[in-house]
């Protein structure tokens, strides 16, 4: 499959090399930022472009990997395209309608549910991809793209509304959990301890969820509603009112749902 990649950020820098290694042919990388386009394209051995007039018109798929509020503008920028060309975006929270409203006939979503950081290798064989398309042709191309990097069992059809709900759940599992670790790192500073002391606890917390439901795996003073411990924690958090608010709301939520 011949693809033109639109965007050179975190997702593209992780996904696109894996796609090429899996058999996709990357023709070009386009970005508003020339340095970003060149950095990604040089590793792929393809052309880096910045001007819209230089985007090739002979690709099977135009894969949009940009921030959500830029997807519609980028889709319009690409047109007109050949009749059979597929335009796909990779967002978890953006409906497919932004592509059809922009005039894309064969539109698709190829959403890899994973967190991406430049410089980190991702084992895409374990990543779930969620697919949506406006035509059978677009669906076949989207599935073929995902098959370059993951197992067929990890490819799922999912409509926009359900994908948005999935993305919301993913924010809690990944982004919010990571922010809780950021808070923990801050709270450790007065002790002189490094965050690395938390890593075995973090690993066991994640490992338990491979065999237990989140409800079964829950532990801690909020579960027991140990008010003595909770009050001591609250006193320690008085200098950090925002964190105290998070602590109270999280504790109340744990207590009310378990």
What does the buried/exposed string (b/e) look like for 138-169 if buried means 16 or more CB atoms within 10 Å of the residue's CB?
bbebbbebbbbbbeeebbbebeeeebbebbee
Looking at residue 51, what is its pLDDT? 73
Q: pLDDT class for 105, splitting at 50, 70, 90?
A: very high
Residue 236: how many other CB atoms lie within 10 Å = 14
Tokens of 153: 């069992």
> CA distances (Å), 13 to each of 4, 118, 125, 191, in order?
14, 6, 17, 37
pLDDT per position as a tens digit, 226-250: 999 999 999 999 999 999 999 999 9
pLDDT tens for each residue of 155-197: 999 999 999 999 999 999 999 999 999 999 999 999 999 999 9
Q: Output the pLDDT for position 119.
A: 87
Alpha-carbon gap, residue 114 to 130, rounded angstroms:
11
Dist CA 177 CA 28 (whole Å): 36
pTM for the predicted model, two decimal places: 0.93
CA distance 66 to 37: 12
pLDDT digits (tens, 9 = 90+) for 54-103: 899 999 999 999 999 999 999 999 999 999 999 999 999 999 999 999 99
Burial class (CB in 10 A: 0-12, 13-18, 19+), 258: middle
């Amino acid at each position: 499959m011949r693809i033109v990649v639109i965007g050179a950020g975190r997702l593209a820098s992780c996904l696109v090399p894996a796609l090429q290694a899996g058999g996709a042919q990357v023709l070009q990388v386009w970005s508003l930022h020339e340095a970003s386009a060149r950095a990604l394209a040089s590793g792929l051995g393809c052309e880096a472009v910045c001007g819209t007039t230089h985007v090739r018109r002979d690709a099977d798929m135009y894969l949009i990997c940009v921030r959500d509020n830029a997807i519609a503008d980028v889709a319009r920028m690409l047109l007109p395209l050949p009749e059979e060309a597929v335009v796909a975006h990779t967002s978890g929270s953006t409906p497919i309608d932004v592509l059809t409203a922009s005039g894309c006939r064969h539109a698709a979503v190829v959403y890899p549910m994973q967190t991406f950081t430049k410089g980190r290798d991702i084992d895409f064989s374990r990543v779930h991809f969620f697919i949506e398309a406006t035509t059978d042709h677009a669906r076949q191309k989207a599935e073929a793209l995902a098959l370059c990097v993951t197992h067929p069992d990890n490819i799922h059809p999912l409509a926009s509304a359900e994908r948005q709900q999935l993305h919301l759940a993913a924010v809690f599992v990944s982004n919010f959990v990571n922010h809780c670790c950021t808070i923990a790192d801050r709270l450790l500073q007065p002790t002189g301890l490094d965050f690395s002391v938390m890593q075995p606890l973090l690993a066991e917390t994640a490992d338990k969820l491979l065999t237990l439901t989140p409800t079964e795996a829950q532990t801690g003073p909020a579960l027991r509603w140990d008010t003595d411990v909770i009050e001591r924690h609250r006193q320690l958090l008085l200098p950090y009112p925002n964190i105290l608010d998070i602590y109270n709301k999280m504790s109340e939520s744990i207590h009310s749902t378990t």
